[in-house]
Amino acid sequence: MIELIPAIDLIEGKCVRLTKGEYDSKKVYNEDPVSQAKEFERLGFKRLHVVDLDGAKSKHIVNDAVLRAIAEATNLTVDFGGGIKTEEDIEKAFAAGAAMVTLGSIAVTDPVKCCQWIDRYGADRIILGADVRNGKISINGWKEDSSDDLMPFLRKYVEKGVRNVLCTEISKDGTLAGPAVELYKQIMAEFPQMHLIASGGVSCNNDIEGLEQAGIPAVVFGKAWYEGRIDLSQLFHNN
């Protein structure tokens, strides 16, 4: 059974979606992310993926007040990412109600510090963000490509005890063009114990079913939901 995780991406406190991470492509879907989170909970979802896009751009958490409001208004298990660069950011996210935080750019630029945080907070509270473009890990709100290749990057942190990995194929994100199933299958073949969260490109129920059939443990979806392309009754019936 694949874990179903709807997403709320935040810019200026509003629920938005981008295409391929381009801020100029912003489309606002709901000006009240708290009401959106409550609706997800009412529909039966247990988990929520929240991304602070302002934070990713600013390189520090910006929308922690929205995170706190969502956590106080719902019983959803919320994972939070975007702009986490310091221990102060991590503490701020956990204090605002995040159950887990996603470490992306910092895992590339300062792996020593990242590993210290894994030791301090526990690998179960950390999600490794692996945002991929042309086989390389992308950083800083997808504005830069690093020199890190995907598989060695993942191996380093799997050996450190990290099990939760959010992998976004940037070329797919927000395109509704279908997820990068073959990439995810390669990752699972290499790291079968990983709780891999597929992200990017989901356009319909069939895409989610395809990921489940491929053995992918979890999926994040956003635009497909907001565009009315996902049949909820079918989604939960199959899960």
Q: Which amino acid is at 33?
A: P
Contacts for 16 with CB less than 8 Å, ≥ 6 apart: 9, 10, 26, 27, 28, 29, 53
From 54, 64, 131, 207, the catalytic residue: 131
| Catalytic status, residue 89 | no
E strands, the chain, where?
3-11, 14-19, 22-30, 47-52, 77-81, 100-103, 126-133, 136-139, 144-149, 164-169, 195-199, 218-221
Q: Which two tokens stand for residue 128?
A: 């490794």
Residue 52 near residue 10 (C-beta atoms within 8 A): yes
Residue 170 near residue 133 (C-beta atoms within 8 A): yes
Give the Cβ contact number of residue 34 at 10 Å.
19
| Catalytic status, residue 9 | yes
47-52 and 126-133 strand pairing: unpaired
In degrees rounded to 5, what are phi and psi of residue 230? -110, 130
Active-site residues: which are they? 9, 131
